[in-house]
Amino acid sequence: MEQHNEKWGSRWGFLLATAGSAIGLGNIWKFPYITGNNGGAAFVCVYLLAILFVGLPLMIAELSLGRATACHPAWAFDKFTKGQKTPLAGFVGTLIIISGLLMVFFRCPGHAILLLTLGIFLCLKGWKTVGVITGVLAPFIIISYYGVIGGWTIIYVFKSFAGELNFADPAQGKLIFEPILNAEKSTWGILLSAHFAFVAAAAVVVFFGVQNGIEKSSKVLMPMLFILLGALVLRGISLPGASKGLKFFLSPDFSALRPESVLIAMGQAFFTLSLAMGITTTYGSYLKRDVNIVQSALTIIGLDTLAAVMAGIAVFSSVFAMGFDPAQGPGLVYMIVPSAFNKVPGNLGWLWNGLFFIMLTIAALTSLISLLEPLVNFAVRQFKISRHLAVILFSLVIYLFGLLSAFSCANWKNLPWLEKLIKDFFKDAGPSFFELSDSFASNWMLPLGGLAIAIFAGWIWGTKRVIKEVRRGTRSGLLDANILVLLTGLDPRDYARKSLFSPAVFWAVSIRWITPVLVVFAFLYCIGVI
């Protein structure tokens, strides 16, 4: 039986758990930097548009698909297409098989195997293939390297409180961070244990199930995350010179807004909202019928954006006030931010760093939990095993697979055999296994998965049926009221007639036409075609 009857205990439990999935490293080490570099508040406007036309429609589609079927994505797509002819899947599958055969001709065995497998699955299994890729393969790959970064944050929490991060210059920070990044022999012990501890922490939560594990932990962890972020924001903005950071982060500069900014905003909207990874559909499958999906999606998006903006203010006010230049990714978080906090007057660098890394650990942990849950849900139904056994088995496999990323984060030095193997099969192995996994998941699987979900919701399952599902739990009339009436706060029932400018019509137009086109552009940008 693919359908499950686990359900969230409360609406807030669901909202906090889903926001916990959305708020992660992407909010803290990416959003602030790309915002600063792409015109500050001007970029935030573009980002909000990307959320409106890509993030929101897809989130509504995924939540509805989950709730309507009460299934993991591996069966959810299938539910509406089983026994039916799926000409689109067959057509795309055949095209992919032909490209796979061409790859054989061009002697690219790796690409040929991947394409032929995908094409054959699409032809034989139709939409189920999309469910398995988005709900099993994508989370599996992402979790493997996300867990490694989670391990680093734990190491940095301990280092902060042990006073080992007392450097005031990123160059000194590099001396601590680079051995970890390069997995030098001296760091193996700590690297392996921290990575293990992080995966184990997520496993313990998922072990206790949806209500007792994920929901209960989110109700504690998410408020903690916002309290810590709030404290860091207050610390940052009260520093003399903080306004330079706020200016970099938020002052609108339309000249810094480039055409790519739009595509960057879309990629970020995708990753940050944890879309097309099976998570939102799985979390949606635990929803009760009376929950308002549109309102929930807006709340989750609001919390995610709030966390990103708070992180930007906390990070850049301190970094600029202390006279550093910003960067993005691990460099910002593990070298520049600690240097800045150490220079803050009062000699409490260890405390600010400790709080910052606890906050980062919470953000990464709730995201990791959300990546593990769809895998466990899948294993329970597919292999007919208990949740407990599924958690233990999957966590171990994920941990072991993640070791490849832990040992090959920045380069291939530790894994020359794997580099050779991948090069033999794919001609190019990229800079490291970590980067390879990230680019495969973020640049290929997510946008293509998102495209498939938009097409499925808009054309296959169909806008009519999705809206019917969304209507359950939505106050009657709200979905069909004129958007202008809704914005004014007037009672939509006084303006009863269904309107052409209603949220329902806006969603349907987006998911059918706007979202797929935008996602294709974002995808072409991700893979370097435009």
- Residues in the site for ligand PFF, rule: CB under 6 A? 21-22, 24-27, 139, 142, 271-272, 274, 277, 279, 367, 370-371
CA-based torsion, 379, 382, 383, 385: positive or negative? positive
| Minimal distance, residue 423 CB to ligand PFF, in Å | 27
Q: Kindly provide the b/e burial profile for residues 414-444, where b requires at least 16 CB atoms within 10 angstroms of the residue's own CB.
A: bbeebbeebeeebeebbebbbbbbbebbbbe
Q: What are the two backbone dihedrals, phi and then psi, of residue 163, each rounded to the nearest 5 degrees?
A: 75, 15
CA distance 102 to 257: 40
Is residue 490 helix, strand or coil? Answer: coil
Of 219, 278, 294, 262, the C-alpha closest to 12 is 219
Are 159 and 341 contacting, i.e. CB atoms less than 8 angstroms apart?
A: no
Single-letter amino acid, residue 308 = A
- Least distance in Å: CB of 182 to ligand PFF? 23
The distance from CA 201 to its chain's CA centroid, rounded to whole angstroms, is: 19
Reduced to 3 states, what is the DSSP secondary structure of residue 523?
helix
**C-beta of 279 vs 335, nearer to ligand PFF:** 279
Least distance (Å) from ligand PFF to the CB of residue 446? 8
Our CB check for ligand PFF shows the closer of 296 and 474 to be 296
CB 223 within 8 A of CB 12: no
Task: Please state the closest distance from residue 290 (CB atom) to ligand PFF, in A.
Answer: 27
Q: Token match 């089983």: residue?
A: 82
Rounded distance between C-alpha atoms, residue 277 and residue 446, angstroms: 7
In the bound complex, what is the minimum distance in angstroms from residue 139's beta carbon to ligand PFF? 6
Q: Residue 360 Cβ, how far from ligand PFF at the closest point, in Å?
A: 10
Nearer to ligand PFF, 69 or 268 (CB): 268
55 vs 139, beta carbon nearer ligand PFF:
139
CB of 308 to ligand PFF, least distance (A): 8
Q: Could you count the other beta carbons within 10 Å of the beta carbon of residue 386?
A: 10
| Cβ-based nearer residue to ligand PFF, 55 or 326 | 55
